[in-house]
């Protein structure tokens, strides 16, 4: 049983046993929603960032661990269309590292949370007998009924993505190859590309503009890979999707890495993950004009890469030569042996 | 530098760098408080429960890990006088244990959260390359300005405690001795006492009644030990305390364990921790009548064990023979070598 089946089972258990009071939205989206007084809801999300699973201290320093752990959680608020309110961080760290590392780690957390107007307001600091584990919980506010869910996409909607997903995955692949000393002919990357992996930008400003322009009918942030995360929208909305390969905004670097590793050129774009870009669905035509404004204001390009179909569970890509191909829907699954080496 | 000095430093960093927007209460109490619409605040708390630090799978099964992780976080809501709204759990678990253990663990979390009307509404499930780490974040609601803080105790207030702190610590001491095969002459305990360690009861009902009766001027839940947690109130309120040893509700079991281990009979009461009982301060006379009602309704006794003084930083116990003695203020410190074997 994989991670997502397990989560589905836990969700069933929670709905059966535990939910004695109504909450606006429970397990299964980027955030849950709790009713608040007035016309607000509180969006909450928690994410564990685990050494040896999500990162290695070979290529992350402690400050960057803090930055990325915070950014990944803030990204969940963006994906719900919520405005940040505050963050909590539970840090479990080896005793011998605590003295030297904790200030760097806390600095990364506090500065990143502060930058996105989501002050670090609480936490827990414990020893760890093993890996460093940083669990960041974020709280945000959203007007009642205006959170952007995964389950409300409509057939015919356009599929858009922010930025250039795949860069983070390609950088990670190079770092992992180097770690195994398989350095031959791997492309070099600059600090901007490295930043795509180490310090992703939670797309809160972009989400704010998208809410005004659309709003999107559904939205998710890309953590497990575009195909896997799109599939969450498809499953929760009971729809299918058709992607157009010629529309994919593939950077040169990720294509070079894919070529060296013998992978399709859009491998990292579709399956890389960790970019924390926004993937959204929106009725046809709505974003055509506004996408330019979003880019002008935020510097982030938005690309239309496909559309939703009524064919439940179908995820198809049209290749540049016109062929249609079913797409693998799986991304990073913590309990799948395929990815266990990652 | 110890855990609490580190937290103080992180708090300073957060206040200096990160807090760009006002929050009702930041780092340093049982919960932080976020302003909500209307007359509410949201109380949030996060706690990591780490294998090999907070528990061992020698004497906790996975279900009990879920129960205790949930109870410990719910206890923070009780200590603030907040009403539970919802919980999130981030679980990092060894891949090879996930299949068999996750349902038990989730069951313990979901049932405990559900029992206290705090449905599990979200979470994160990841692999762990080492220990099991369960981080539970709870959210609760409290009327604006009515949260019970650590910093608002007054000189002359009485100090009260719920239940019989020390049992959990004494049971843990026996289990640890047995683990090291030092079983000679250690007292036996029944399942009720074992439950004090494995499945503490978050004192939410008691806190509700105390709010109505008092409210308390300050409150905290006992996780690190009564003396250490009382000291948090003293430091944050700028006060001292005088405890009366003859008032301590010491159970027979914890006294027996202390005797065998060559410790003072109130060692576990003062320094044991992990009971998740409430420690509170309240103006003189207010609870004298209501304590009986609390016991009748909840089954939990409340004991007056001392009073607050204006002598900042002084923590004194009057022994049964009349002598005054300064009390050690430290409890379980994750980064202190003294306790690293625990």
Assign residue B271 a region (left: φ > 0; alpha: ψ between -120 and 50; beta: otherwise): alpha
Question: Rounded to an integer, what distance in angstroms lies between the CA atom of residue B14 and that of residue B32?
Answer: 13
| 3-class secondary-structure state, position A145 | coil
Whether A29 has a binding-site annotation, put simply, is no
Find out whether B176 is annotated in a ligand binding site.
no
B10: closest chain A residue by CA: A106
Alpha-carbon distance of B124 to A141, in angstroms, equals 20
At B232, list the tokens.
């948090």
pLDDT of residue A185: 81
pLDDT of residue A186: 87
Which chain A residues contact residue B54 at CB under 8 A? 126
Residues 117-176 of A with CB under 8 A from B: 117, 119-131, 133, 135, 137, 139, 141
CB contact under 8 A, A32 and B121: yes
Question: Which residue has better confidence, A67 or B24?
Answer: A67
Distance in angstroms (rounded) separating the CA atoms of residues A97 and A94: 5
Residues B195-244: pLDDT tens digits?
Answer: 999 999 999 999 999 999 999 999 999 999 999 999 999 999 999 999 99
Contact list, A9 vs chain B (CB under 8 Å)? 103, 106
Alpha helix positions (H), A81-203:
95-115, 167-179, 191-198
Chain A residues closer than 8 Å to B26 by CB:
119-122
DSSP B122-190: EEEEEE-SSS-EEEEEEEEEEETT----STT--TT-EEEEES-TTHHHHHHHHHHHHHTT--TTPPP--
Find the distance separating the first CA and the last CA of chain A, reported in whole Å: 18
Rounded distance between C-alpha atoms, residue A333 and residue B195, angstroms: 36
* B10 sits in which H/E element: helix B3-13
The verdict on a CB contact (< 8 Å) between A18 and B119 is yes
* CA distance to partner chain A, nearest, from residue B146 (Å): 16
* Residue A293 labelled as part of a binding site: no
The pLDDT value recorded for residue B21 is 54
pLDDT digits (tens, 9 = 90+) for B254-295: 999 999 999 999 999 999 999 999 999 999 999 988 899 999
Cβ distance A50 to B335 less than 8 Å, yes or no, reads no
Neighbours of B190 (CB within 10 A): 8
Lowest mean pLDDT among A310-314, B2-6, B49-53: B2-6
Residue A119 to residue B89, Cβ atoms within 8 A: no
Taken in order A118, A120, A122, A125, the sign of the CA dihedral is positive
- Structure tokens of A169? 């995955």
B97 and chain A in contact, CB less than 8 A: no
Q: If you measure CA to CA, which chain B residue comes closest to A105?
A: B10
What pLDDT does A334 receive?
Answer: 57
The answer to whether B47 contacts A122, with C-beta atoms less than 8 Å apart, is no
Single out the residue of B280, B257, B269, B238 nearest to residue B81, CA to CA.
B280
From the number of C-beta atoms within 10 Å of its C-beta (0-12, 13-18, 19+), residue A188 rates as exposed
The confidence score (pLDDT) of residue B174 equals: 94
**pLDDT tens profile A233-273:** 999 999 999 999 999 999 999 999 999 999 999 999 999 99
Q: Beta B158-162 vs B302-309: how paired, if at all?
A: antiparallel
For A274, A319, B92, the CA distances from A228, given in Å and listed in that order, are 12, 19, 21
Q: Is B76 annotated as a binding residue?
A: yes
Strand order in the sheet with B302-309: B218-221, B278-282, B158-162, B302-309, B240-244, B315-318, B324-326
* Selected residue with higher pLDDT from A149 and B10: A149
For residue A99, the model assigns a pLDDT of: 82
Which of the residue ranges A180-194, B18-32, B133-147 would you say has the lowest mean pLDDT? B18-32
Q: Distance of CA A331 to CAs A4, A274, A336, B278, Å?
A: 11, 11, 10, 46
Compute the count of residue pairs across chains A and B with CB atoms less than 8 Å apart.
286
For the cut 60, the answer to whether the pLDDT of residue B340 exceeds it is no
Q: pLDDT value at position A341?
A: 29
B275 in a labelled binding site: no
d(CA B263, CA A223): 52
CA-based nearest distance B137→chain A, Å: 7
| ipTM score of complex | 0.89
pLDDT band at B38 (very low <50, low <70, confident <90, very high): confident
Instruction: Flag whether residue A236 sits within 8 Å of chain B, measured between CB atoms.
Output: no
Integer Cα distance of B207 and B213 in angstroms: 10
CA distances, A219 to each of A246, A250, A288, B293 (Å): 22, 21, 17, 51
Residue B323 CB-density burial (10 A; 0-12 exposed, 13-18 middle, 19+ buried): exposed
Q: B158-162 and B278-282: which strand pairing?
A: antiparallel
A 289-328 residues with CB < 8 A to B: none
Phi, psi of A295 (to 5 degrees): -65, -40
Q: Is B180 a residue whose pLDDT tops 90?
A: no
pLDDT score, position B287: 94
Distance CA A321, CA A246 (A): 9
Measured between CA atoms, how close is B17 to chain A, in angstroms? 7
The annotation status of A103 as a binding-site residue, yes or no, is no
What span, in angstroms and rounded, lies between the C-alpha atoms of B34 and B16? 18
| pLDDT value of position B181 | 79
A185-228 residue pLDDT tens: 889 999 999 999 999 999 999 999 999 999 999 999 999 999 99
CB A165 within 8 A of CB A140: no
Determine, for residues A17 and B111 on separate chains, whether the beta-carbon distance falls below 8 Å.
Answer: yes
Contacts with A, B 71-90, CB within 8 Å: 85-86, 88-90
Read off the tokens for A246: 């010629």
The residue ranges of chain A whose pLDDT is under 70 are 1, 16-24, 182-184, 331-342
Q: Does A14 contact B at CB distance below 8 Å?
A: yes
Q: Does the structure show a pLDDT above 50 at B81?
A: yes
Q: What is the pLDDT of residue B298?
A: 94
pLDDT of residue A125: 92
Long-range pairs for B315-319: beta carbons < 8 A, 24 or more residues apart: B315/B227, B315/B230, B315/B231, B315/B234, B315/B240, B315/B241, B315/B243, B316/B240, B316/B241, B316/B242, B316/B243, B317/B242, B317/B243, B317/B244, B317/B245, B317/B270, B318/B242, B318/B243, B318/B244, B318/B245, B319/B245
Kindly report the nearest CA distance between residue A261 and chain B, in angstroms: 26
Examine the pLDDT at B337 and tell me if it is beyond 70.
no
d(CA B10, CA A103) in angstroms, rounded, equals 7
Q: Which domains does chain B have, with CATH numbers?
A: 20-143 (3.30.1330.10), 158-339 (3.90.650.10)
**Lookup result for tokens 């005793």:** A95
């Amino acid at each position: 049983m994989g991670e997502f089946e397990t989560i589905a089972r836990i969700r069933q258990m929670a709905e059966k046993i535990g939910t004695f009071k109504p909450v606006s939205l429970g397990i299964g989206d980027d955030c849950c929603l709790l009713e608040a007084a007035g016309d607000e809801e509180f969006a909450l999300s928690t994410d564990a960032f685990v050494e040896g699973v999500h990162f290695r201290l070979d290529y992350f320093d402690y400050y960057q661990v803090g930055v990325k752990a915070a950014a990944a959680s803030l990204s969940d608020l963006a994906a719900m269309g919520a405005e940040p309110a505050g963050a909590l961080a539970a840090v479990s760290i080896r005793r011998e590292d605590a003295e030297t590392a904790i200030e760097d780690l806390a600095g990364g957390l506090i500065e990143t949370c502060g930058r996105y107007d989501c002050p670090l307001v609480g936490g827990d600091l414990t020893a760890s007998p093993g890996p460093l584990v940083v669990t960041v919980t974020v709280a945000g506010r959203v007007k009642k009924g205006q959170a952007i869910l995964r389950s409300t996409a409509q057939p015919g909607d356009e599929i858009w993505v922010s930025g250039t997903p795949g860069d983070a995955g390609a950088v990670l692949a190079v770092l992992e190859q180097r770690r195994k000393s398989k350095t031959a002919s791997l492309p070099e990357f600059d600090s901007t590309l490295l930043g795509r992996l180490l310090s992703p930008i939670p797309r809160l400003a972009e989400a704010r503009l998208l809410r005004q322009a659309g709003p999107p009918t559904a939205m998710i942030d890309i953590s497990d890979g575009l195909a896997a995360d799109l599939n969450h929208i498809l499953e929760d909305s009971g729809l299918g999707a058709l992607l157009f390969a010629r529309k994919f905004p593939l950077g040169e670097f990720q294509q070079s890495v894919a070529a060296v590793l013998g992978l399709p050129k859009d491998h990292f774009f579709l399956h890389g993950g960790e970019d924390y870009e926004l993937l959204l669905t929106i009725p046809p035509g709505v974003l055509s004009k506004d996408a330019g404004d979003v880019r002008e204001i935020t510097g982030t390009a938005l690309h239309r890469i496909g559309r939703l179909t009524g064919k439940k569970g179908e995820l198809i890509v049209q290749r540049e030569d016109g062929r249609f191909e079913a797409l693998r829907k799986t991304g990073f699954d913590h309990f799948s042996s395929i990815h266990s080496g990652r």
